[in-house]
Each structure stands twice: as C-alpha cells, then as structure tokens.
Amino acid sequence: GENVEQHPSTLSVQEGDSAVIKCTYSDSASNYFPWYKQELGKRPQLIIDIRSNVGEKKDQRIAVTLNKTAKHFSLHITETQPEDSAVYFCAASWQAGTALIFGKGTTLSVSS
C-alpha cells in the first residue's frame, strides 16, 4: 500500500520567513496530493491540493509543487505569520475520492 514520508517533523521560523515541508510517496499510481492544517484541539482542514497532471499550484501565500518522477511534493509558505503555527499533514491517494494516507506531520512554529 501507499506510504507517505514527511520532513521535517518540527520547523521553527521567524515571522516573515518562508517555510518548506517535504513529502515523498511510494505508490507511483497515486495522483492526488492534499495538504491539511490542524490547529491545536481542532480537526484537520484542507489548505491546498494538487493533482498529478499539475506541477505547481499557488493560493496566496501557499504553494505546492509536485515532482512525479521523483515521487515527492512540497508545501511552501511565504511571509509566515504567527497564525500559520499548526501541524501540517501531507497526504496521498491513488485518486481523488478515495481514502487518504497521511504523512506523520510537521509542527510549524512561527515566532514574532
């Protein structure tokens, strides 16, 4: 089955800096790659996703890149703010509409 590795497990940045979180996946058939943000005590929520026919996707300060050949994808957050502090999970599935397999998560801390 699919296995998703996520790095780093913790990331501390200064407000205004950029943050990058990387994930690799094992199943070459996977073609849907979302990122979820989970604030303390809350449920995970989708922040951005990408499909295998796209190499990059942006939404304001957040971007995701995908390299299908290398089987890795990354989350980029620019101009970080304290409210970006949370746990971020990458995930993969073999198609949109099926269960997601999650990475272990990255705890992002943005200090002001």
Partner 1 sequence: SAVISQKPSRDICQRGTSLTIQCQVDSQVTMMFWYRQQPGQSLTLIATANQGSEATYESGFVIDKFPISRPNLTFSTLTVSNMSPEDSSIYLCSVLGDRGSTGELFFGEGSRLTVL
- Name the residues that contact partner 1, by CB under 8 A: 1, 32, 34, 42-46, 49, 89, 93, 95-105
Q: Which is nearer to partner 1, 13 or 100 (CB)?
A: 100
Q: Which residues have C-beta within 8 Å of that of residue 110, sequence separation ≥ 6? A: 12, 13, 14, 15, 19, 80, 81, 82, 83, 84, 85
Q: Kindly state the tokens that stand for 43.
A: 């449920």
Q: How far is the CB of 38 from partner 1 (least distance, A)?
A: 9
Minimum CB–partner distance for residue 10 and partner 1 (Å): 11
Q: Among residues 46 and 81, whose Cβ is nearest to partner 1?
A: 46
- Spatial separation of the C-alpha atoms in residues 49 and 65, rounded to whole Å: 10
Which residue lies nearer to partner 1 by CB, 19 or 44? 44
